[in-house]
Amino acid sequence: MKRLLLSAIACVAFAGTANAQLSPGASQELSDSIFCAIMAGLYVNGEVNKNPGLTEKEQELMRKSYAKGCIEGRNAARQDNLEIKEETISKLS
52: helix, strand or coil:
coil
When pLDDT is averaged across residues 83-91 and rounded to a whole number, the result is 68
What is the per-residue pLDDT for 91? 66
The domain spans of the chain are: 2-92
**21-72, pLDDT tens digit by residue?**
666 677 788 888 999 999 999 999 999 999 899 999 999 999 999 999 999 9
**DSSP class per residue in 21-37:** TS-HHHHHHHHHHHHHH
